[in-house]
Amino acid sequence: MLNLVIDIGNTLSKVALFNGRSIVEQYVLDRVDEEAIAGIIEGKRLDHAIISSVSYDITAVENYLRSVASYIRFSAFAAKKLNNQYKTPETLGLDRYAAVIGATYLFNAQDVLVVDAGTCITYDFVDKDRNYFGGSISPGIAMRYKAMNAFTGKLPLLNMKEDFNASNGVDTATSILSGVQNGVVYELKGFIASYLNKYPELVVALCGGNVKFFETQLKNSIFAPIVRAVPDLVLIGLNEVIYQNNE
């Protein structure tokens, strides 16, 4: 079964072709349109397609996909094997929900904390019985740097430095680096510790644009044995929705 999975973000979009449950091709696009999709699937017999989008109008792309495959528009109501206890599912971020669906597939019958480290950092919990209880939303790393610059008179705008590992800063720049990057790691470890206290068999699934940074920060910690980096977790979750809707 050949599936086309499209995750349209605020700035970039990820597109993947799945042969069954394995990714065989993957692309990052500035914009998703009919021409781009036609080029990706040219010469292929597409069975199913799904789009997750919270940004621009995709009516034309949807109409094209309906003409070449069985098409699904992803929403918080699309999953068939998840007990969604979020009180306002219509406001639930689609990336968050797709990542949770992917986690329930990859870590079946396990308690999972899904950490999506992107523009914002989200922490979402799903238990071993597939009950999704919601989670937490926190500012992402770049957002923290921008906020410190925007809301102060003198602090400079800095960018993330993945190789920074000092416990404290020795000037203004390194003090900002220490505060932002150490702070976000302490936050992550605090969330993990809190959930682990309640769910001793917890697995932590990392995804998002800063997944490598968090994976590196946790690899020598006491949490390393329970951490799994899954960069394509959102795409995997969207592909799983196709399966759930065709069973």
- Catalytic residue numbers read 95
Q: Are strands 83-84 and 70-73 parallel, antiparallel or unpaired?
A: unpaired
The span from the CA of 48 to the CA of 214, in Å, is 33
Do 169 and 177 meet the contact criterion of CB atoms below 8 Å apart?
yes
The span from the CA of 234 to the CA of 105, in Å, is 11
Nearest residue to 144 via CA among 195, 47, 213, 203: 213
| Residue 193, φ and ψ in degrees, nearest 5 | -60, -40
**Burial environment of residue 175 by CB neighbours within 10 A (0 to 12, 13 to 18, 19 or more):** middle
**Burial environment of residue 20 by CB neighbours within 10 A (0 to 12, 13 to 18, 19 or more):** exposed
Rg of the Cα atoms in the chain: 19
Token pair of 227 as six digits: 């951490």
Adjacent-strand bridge partners of 112: 126, 203
Q: What are the DSSP E strand ranges found in 118-180?
A: 120-126, 131-139
* Strands laid side by side in the 70-73 sheet: 22-29, 13-19, 2-8, 48-53, 70-73
Adjacent-strand bridge partners of 2: 19
Token pair of 145 as six digits: 């740097």
